[in-house]
Structure 1
Amino acid sequence: MKNKITLKTILMLFLVGIIVASSSNINAQQNNKYGMLSFNKAVNISGKQRMLSQKMAKTYLYLIDNPSDVKAKRDLLTSKIIFEKQNEIILQNSSYKVTKDRVAKVKSIWTSFESIISTPANFDNAKKIIELNTDLLKATNSVVSAIIVESKGVVQGDISLLEDDGYGESDTELKQIINMAGRQRMLAQRLGLYYFANQNTLKDKNSEQMLTNVFNELDGAITVLLISNFNNSKIDEKLGLAMTKWEQVKMNKEKLMNQGFKASEIYSISNDLTKAFNTVTGLYEKVKM
């Protein structure tokens, strides 16, 4: 009798184990998300934070000489609102310490950054923004990296990956492409930012080199996107549109480097480029594996 009970108990435990394991696998598949978002969406949204950091800085510098531009004022205001809201979305949907810590770092820098851009545009504060914008950019970029690694940890069931500093090794190929396409949006805004930072009243020893670096990075990444294995006819079409807009800038590189564009022209060009690459990024986000 005792042996029968033991065998029956063992059998029941074995069956329960199978059920629990199956349930865990189903839950893991269902929970392979960044909170309420897909990880692809989270990479896209966190990447937009980089772009917004540069757009706000660019707009502030533009407003120094164009204080009555209503559209630019509205751009700055809406960018601030979206940035703050998206930061909360990113924080609320993560359950991992590394990501949360990095969002907290963004919020810390944002406090100083936001207080400056909330003042009427002037040269003294513009110089502070030129110094501070890269810190905010780096902080927002580190959040993107953490989310990519977080996604890898969820898939593998190994969140210890989050303690690894080798983020590039943990990226999935699709998320790398979403990240790269999203980075182009940021670079388009950064191009405008350093165009304005390169004018004589704000220029320092690094301004021209920064503008050159942004130009080269933006140009080089386009080639990588063009040969991506994730491209389809729709992505190719939208990449072609983005390339057309970029070629108009590329053909006028000397004009770009020598303040040959009107302020309103470069302001619009950077926004048009950002819009084009935002469309491409959104299409990569929806690619099904």
Structure 2
Amino acid sequence: MKRRLFIATSALAAAGARAQVADLNDAINKAGRQRMLSQRASKAYLALVQNVEVRNAQQVLDRSIALFERQLVELKAFAPSPAIRGTYDALDGAWSEFKRELAGLTPGKEEAARIVKLDAAVLALANQGTAQYEAASGKPVGRLVNIAGRQRMLSQRMAKFYLASAMQIDAAGSTAEIARSRAEFLAALEILRNAPEATPQIRQELVLADAQWMFFNRGLQRLEGAGTSPALMSDVFVSSENLLAIMDRVTGLYSDLKI
């Protein structure tokens, strides 16, 4: 399982390798990826505080910060309207505050609780920017890129709240957020699977997503049964990374459709 995490992480790093935004589909893809990175960075921070997957979590945190900053520059430069540029100017400010907290020298439960609050502002603005880019596209495939891209964020959000609950950071609220994200994730899988635009390759990737989801969801459900332990938290961390990699490929495949 640990070896598979490195494969997933390297695949995601390759996905962000384009030096600039190619078109509106690519803009929706990258804008949506910013949502995910806000949750992924928090997940990695919470893992580090609890000594879970320490080496991998540090790599995930460092790469998430670097990718977020690179894409933020690209999305601001590509912005086709003052409204979209304004969203990314605001996101720049929220991100700066969030990043300062992520780089704090004394991580602990109090700092982790602030991280969870700060990522909400980054997520909201990143989601706003994604919606604006989808509206600028005006094509059905743009909506599918957005939906597929949001699945990446939901995978990280569920894992983040699992780790937050393990630290007793609003445990009841964290459990409720996992339930909401789970319902949204499953509904979106059906939309992506049944979309007329779904190619055989996309459907094949979604079969892989179904299998990885089952493993990931079993880990999440243990929160209500066996609770948490370093081993269980490690399982959730790793399976969330693998699910993320699959959904990132699905998003890229929808983004590459020229229809």
Q: How does the TM-score come out when normalised to structure 1? A: 0.77
- Greater relative contact order (Cα 8 A, min sep 6): structure 1 or 2? 2
Query: What are the residue-to-residue correspondences of 1:29-44 with 2, within 5 Å?
Result: 37-44=22-29
- RMSD over aligned CA atoms reads 1.8
Q: Name structure 2 gaps, 5 residues minimum.
A: 1-19
Number of matched pairs: 236
Offset of residue 67 of structure 1? 7.2
Residue 127 of structure 1 pairs with residue 113 of structure 2: yes
2:242 is the counterpart of 1:275 = no
CA distance in 1, matches of 2:169, 2:201: 41
| Corresponding residue number in structure 2 for 1:233 | 200
User: Aligned runs of 1:19-34 on 2, under 5 Å?
Assistant: none
Q: Partners in 2 of 1:68 and 1:51 — Cα distance?
A: 19
Name the CA distance, whole Å, in 2 between partners of 1:242 and 1:67.
Answer: 24
- Say if 2:220 and 2:236, in contact at 8 Å, map to a contact too: no
Match in the other structure for 2:140 = 173
**Cα separation, 2, equivalents of 1:68 and 1:45:** 27
Report deviation, 1:264: 1.2
Written as runs of structure 1 = structure 2, the 5 A alignment for 1:1-289 is 37-66=22-51, 69-120=54-105, 121-152=107-138, 172-251=139-218, 254-258=221-225, 259-260=227-228, 262-289=232-259
- Stretches of structure 1 that go unaligned for 5 or more consecutive residues are 1-34, 153-171
Q: How has the CA–CA distance of structure 1 residues 67 and 174 changed in structure 2, closer, same or farther, with 3 Å as cutoff?
A: closer
**1:167 aligned partner:** none
- When the two structures are superposed, what TM-score results if normalisation uses the length of structure 2? 0.86
Once the two structures are TM-superposed, the CA of residue 200 in structure 1 deviates from its matched residue by 4.7
Higher Cα radius of gyration? 1
Tell me by how many angstroms 1:147 deviates. Answer: 1.3
Q: Structure 1 vs Structure 2: percent identity of aligned residues? A: 25
Q: 1:286 to 1:244 in 2, by over 3 A?
A: same
1:68 is displaced (CA, Å) by 7.8
Q: CA deviation at 1:151?
A: 2.9
Could you report, residue by residue, the CA deviation over 1:105-164 in whole angstroms, capped at 9, with x for unpaired residues?
111111110011001421111000111212211110001111122234xxxxxxxxxxxx
